[in-house]
């Protein structure tokens, strides 16, 4: 046993995922908890850690204590940090389940019915609010058109001196 340095959990974890091109999910191929949550042994912490958390903290930001990750793609085996949103601990969640912000987070589709997943999913600058790429593209198309239309209308109008 002496002299053997175990590889960090993150290194090992990278070899235990399969990236699904269609959904964008990173499917966990190794051990899961009794509730289906992907787990990996951390030598440094001396305990099992959540693989999803590990990736999220590596690629995004540290998750405050008491926060848990919500899978927006609905796939518990997925550990793609882009598919994860940190939510308050379960107790807080159930208490505030009816609040509009939580309801928003739980939604899997934008108001127009585009999915909040894969390539269509974007986050705002704070990284907390989800945006729909299809709707944003649509809005910018409308904004572009709006820029041109008033110009021609103004030309026809005689109010300008
Ligand atoms: Zn996913
Ligand atoms: Zn949309």
Compute the distance from residue 48 Cα to the ligand 1 centre, in Å: 21
C-alpha count within 13 angstroms, C-beta hemisphere, residue 108: 7
Relative to the alpha carbon of 138, which ligand is closest? 2
Q: CB-based burial of residue 133 (10 Å sphere; 0-12 exposed, 13-18 middle, 19+ buried)?
A: middle
pLDDT score for 135: 94
User: Average pLDDT for residues 65-89, to the nearest whole number?
Assistant: 83
Distance CA(17)–CA(13), nearest Å, equals 7
The mean-pLDDT minimum among 34-43, 97-106, 152-161 falls in 152-161
**Number of C-beta neighbours around residue 9 at 10 A:** 19
| 3-class SS string, 68-92 | EEEECCCCCCECCHHHEEEECCHHH
Compute the distance from residue 4 Cα to the ligand 2 centre, in Å: 51
Is pTM beyond 0.75? Reply is: no
pLDDT score for 79: 96
Domain boundaries, the chain: 1-89, 107-161
Q: Are 11 and 58 within 8 A, CB to CB?
A: no
pLDDT score for 91: 47
Compute the distance from residue 24 Cα to the ligand 1 centre, in Å: 6
Q: For residue 19, what is the enclosing H or E element?
A: strand 17-19
Compute the distance from residue 101 Cα to the ligand 1 centre, in Å: 21
Binned at pLDDT 50, 70 and 90, residue 2 comes out as very low
Compute the distance from residue 117 Cα to the ligand 1 centre, in Å: 8
Relative to the alpha carbon of 82, which ligand is closest? 1
| pLDDT > 60? residue 72 | yes
C-alpha count within 13 angstroms, C-beta hemisphere, residue 158: 0
Eight-class DSSP state of 65 = T
pLDDT score for 132: 92
Residues around the ion ligand 2 (C-beta < 5 A): 110, 112, 114, 132, 134-135
| pLDDT > 50? residue 3 | no
Q: Are 29 and 16 within 8 A, CB to CB?
A: yes
pLDDT score for 41: 93
pLDDT score for 35: 84
């Amino acid at each position: 046993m002496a002299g053997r340095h175990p590889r960090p959990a993150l290194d090992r974890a990278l070899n235990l995922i399969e990236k699904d091109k269609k959904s964008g999910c990173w499917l966990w191929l190794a051990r899961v908890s009794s509730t289906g949550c992907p787990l990996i042994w951390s030598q440094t912490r001396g305990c099992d850690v959540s693989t999803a958390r590990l990736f999220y903290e590596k690629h995004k930001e540290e998750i405050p204590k008491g926060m848990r990750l919500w899978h927006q793609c609905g796939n518990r085996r997925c550990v793609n940090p882009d598919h994860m949103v940190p939510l308050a601990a379960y107790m807080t969640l159930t208490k505030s389940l009816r609040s509009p912000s939580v309801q928003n987070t739980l939604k899997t589709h934008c108001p127009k019915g585009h999915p909040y997943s894969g390539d269509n999913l974007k986050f705002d600058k704070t990284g907390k609010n989800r945006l729909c790429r299809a709707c944003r593209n649509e809005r910018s198309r409308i904004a572009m058109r709006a820029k041109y239309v008033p110009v021609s209308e103004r030309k026809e109008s005689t109010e300008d001196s």
